[in-house]
């Protein structure tokens, strides 16, 4: 240990009868501790929410969509495309899909997204089965009370509530694809009657209130696709590789086909979440800045209390730089202790929430039943480094003032 660091540690302990400087030092450490712990907890909560939202989106939607560039008329010979795509590295599942707008009606009409899917392949690219809260993913025609068999359809929970419908109820789908102007008159739109086979709840209102699923063959008939599909959904073993695999698919097939990753489809949402996370980091850093001002006042009082000692050190040959390092080490020691304790407390609180779920959320309002937590090592590193820099900067002015003391004036009246 250098003598500057040894002296700095000694100076942080007041030897006067009141010990007032030591109390102020503890308050400074406490300010840093609270700021660091608050930052760690808030960032962990925001990481948790981001992960939950991402898992819900990925659970309902595939990692990559491969489709015609203009999506005009759909995609022909899609089994051959699926065969070639499945040969690529990291691809673990493919399924055809059709997504179109339609009007669904029971007592009142609603505009919805209709997704045509193959129930045998859909589980390879989504987790829709894990979201079913009533019924099942079954599109086979079935007769109700001996009436005409009707194909199945699966509705989002909010959509089913708005339609005031339930399992085995009948709903009417009207396709705008049937609307066309012929001889100055509009032809009658395509209409198809479905049986509600299941209800899903993903936890994301965007899906639960606006999406319904039917079989790929019913969607082809309803939207006049013939034997074509809208595109192919692709699932990977690691969603982080979506951009890489997307580029491989584009280079393999090229125009007039294109790809769209899960991140591109939700770019605005995740961009806002990232902005909110770092905005919270900057705002909560103000707590550490307040602690930094406490460090400044603490070190100034230490300088005033230790004026005689500083004068003696300089008279013994200590340089101005050496004196400056002593007081900068004091600020650094406060920062290190406060950061270490704050990180430990933040980690333990986050860990206890993960294990015991102290802070619960009403499951009928939120899509999760407890405050989500996800701790990341880079967050701890960034918070610690930023805190240490602020504490070091806070010690510069008091250290500079101490280094400017004249040894004769410092000990003349002692």
pLDDT, tens digit (0-9, with 9 covering 90-100), for 83-140 = 999 999 999 999 999 999 999 988 788 899 999 999 888 888 998 888 899 998 889 9
What's this model's pTM, rounded to 2 decimal places? 0.77
Q: Are residues 303 and 187 in the same domain?
A: no
Classify residue 247: in a domain, yes or no. no
What angle is formed at CA 185 by the lines to CA 183 and CA 189, rounded to 5 degrees?
Answer: 120
Q: Are residues 105 and 196 in the same domain?
A: yes
Name the residue among 110, 162, 167 with its Cα closest to residue 138. Answer: 167
Residue 335: left (phi > 0), alpha (psi -120 to 50), or beta?
Answer: alpha
Q: What is the pLDDT of residue 177?
A: 76
* φ/ψ of residue 166, rounded to 5: -145, -170
Name the residue among 194, 190, 103, 97 with its Cα closest to residue 140. Answer: 194
* φ/ψ of residue 113, rounded to 5: -90, 125
Which of the four pLDDT bands, split at 50, 70 and 90, describes residue 69? confident
Q: What DSSP line would sit under 186-248, residue for residue?
A: EPPPEEEEEEEEEEE--S-HHHHTTEEEEEHHHHHHHTT-TT-BSEEEEEES-GGGHHHHHHH
Name the residue among 246, 327, 334 with its Cα closest to residue 67. Answer: 246
pLDDT, tens digit (0-9, with 9 covering 90-100), for 150-203 = 999 999 999 999 998 989 899 999 888 766 555 555 567 788 999 999 999 888
Mean pLDDT of 57-79: 84
pLDDT, tens digit (0-9, with 9 covering 90-100), for 235-278 = 999 888 999 999 999 999 888 889 999 988 888 888 888 888 88
Q: Are residues 407 and 312 in the same domain?
A: yes
How many domains would you assign to the chain? Answer: 2
Classify residue 190: in a domain, yes or no. yes
Share of the chain above pLDDT 90, in %: 34
pLDDT surpassing 60 at residue 146: yes
DSSP letter for 346, please. H
Q: What DSSP line would sit under 54-122, residue for residue?
A: HHHHHHHS-SEEEEESS-SS-BSSHHHHHHHHHTSTTEEEEEEEEEEEEEEESSSEEEEEEEEE-HHHH
Classify residue 74: in a domain, yes or no. no
Classify residue 242: in a domain, yes or no. no
Q: What is the pLDDT of residue 18?
A: 47
Q: What is the pLDDT of residue 374?
A: 92
| Final residue before a domain boundary, out of 207, 230, 253 | 230
Which of the four pLDDT bands, split at 50, 70 and 90, describes residue 305? confident
Q: What is the pLDDT of residue 71?
A: 66
Report the range of poorest mean pLDDT among 40-49, 143-152, 231-240. 143-152
Which value, in Å, is the radius of gyration of the alpha carbons in the chain? 33
Share of the chain above pLDDT 70, in %: 89
Q: Are residues 402 and 282 in the same domain?
A: yes
pLDDT surpassing 70 at residue 408: no
Classify residue 24: in a domain, yes or no. yes
Classify residue 82: in a domain, yes or no. no
Q: What is the pLDDT of residue 231?
A: 92
pLDDT, tens digit (0-9, with 9 covering 90-100), for 201-232 = 888 888 889 999 999 999 999 988 888 999 99
Alpha carbon distance 410, 414 (integer Å): 8
Q: What is the pLDDT of residue 245?
A: 93
Q: What is the pLDDT of residue 17?
A: 47
| Final residue before a domain boundary, out of 203, 230, 257 | 230
Q: Are residues 169 and 303 in the same domain?
A: no
DSSP letter for 128, please. G
DSSP letter for 136, please. -
Alpha carbon distance 292, 295 (integer Å): 5
pLDDT surpassing 80 at residue 16: no
Q: What is the mean pLDDT of the chain?
A: 85
Q: Are residues 300 and 181 in the same domain?
A: no
Q: Is 343 helix (H, G, I), strand (E, B) or coil?
A: helix
Q: What is the pLDDT of residue 182?
A: 52
For residue 256, whether the previous peptide bond is cis, meaning omega lies within 30 degrees of 0, is yes
Q: Are residues 50 and 183 in the same domain?
A: no
pLDDT surpassing 70 at residue 412: no
Domain assignment of residue 207, given as a range: 97-230
């Amino acid at each position: 240990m250098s003598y500057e660091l040894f002296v700095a540690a000694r100076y942080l302990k007041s030897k006067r009868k009141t010990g007032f400087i030591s109390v102020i030092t503890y308050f400074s450490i406490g300010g840093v501790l609270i700021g660091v712990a608050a930052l760690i907890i808030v960032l962990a909560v925001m990481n948790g929410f981001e992960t939950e939202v991402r898992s819900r989106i990925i659970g309902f939607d595939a990692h990559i969509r491969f489709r015609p560039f203009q999506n005009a008329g759909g995609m022909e010979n899609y089994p051959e495309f699926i065969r070639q795509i499945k040969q690529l590295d990291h691809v673990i599942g493919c399924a055809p899909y059709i997504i179109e707008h339609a009007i669904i009606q029971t007592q009142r009409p609603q505009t919805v997204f209709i997704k045509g899917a193959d129930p045998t392949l859909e589980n390879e690219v989504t987790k829709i089965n894990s979201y079913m809260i009533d019924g099942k993913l079954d599109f086979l025609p079935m007769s109700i009370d001996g009436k005409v068999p009707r194909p199945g359809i699966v509705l989002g929970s909010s959509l089913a509530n708005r339609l005031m419908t339930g399992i085995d109820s009948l709903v009417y789908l009207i396709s705008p694809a049937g609307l066309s102007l012929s001889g100055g008159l509009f032809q009658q739109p395509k209409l198809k009657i479905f049986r509600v086979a299941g209800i899903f709840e993903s936890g994301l209102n965007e899906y639960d209130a606006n999406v319904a699923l039917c079989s790929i063959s019913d969607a082809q008939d309803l939207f006049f696709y013939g034997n074509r599909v809208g595109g192919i959904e692709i699932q990977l073993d690691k969603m982080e590789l979506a951009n890489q695999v997307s580029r491989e698919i584009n280079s393999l097939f090229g125009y007039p086909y294109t790809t769209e990753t899960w991140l591109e489809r939700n770019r605005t949402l995740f961009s806002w979440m990232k902005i909110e996370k770092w905005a919270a980091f900057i705002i909560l850093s103000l707590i550490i800045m307040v602690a930094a001002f406490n460090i400044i006042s603490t070190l100034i009082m230490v300088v005033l209390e230790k004026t005689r000692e500083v004068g003696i050190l300089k008279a013994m040959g200590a340089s101005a730089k050496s004196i400056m390092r002593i007081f900068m080490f004091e600020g650094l020691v406060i920062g290190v202790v406060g950061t270490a304790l704050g990180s430990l407390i933040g980690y333990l609180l986050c860990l206890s929430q993960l294990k015991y779920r102290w802070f619960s959320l009403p499951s009928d309002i939120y899509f999760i039943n407890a405050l989500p937590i996800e701790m990341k090592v880079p967050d701890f590193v960034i918070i610690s480094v930023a805190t240490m820099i602020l504490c070091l900067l806070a010690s510069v002015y008091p250290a500079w003032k101490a280094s400017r003391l004249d040894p004769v004036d410092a000990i003349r009246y002692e």
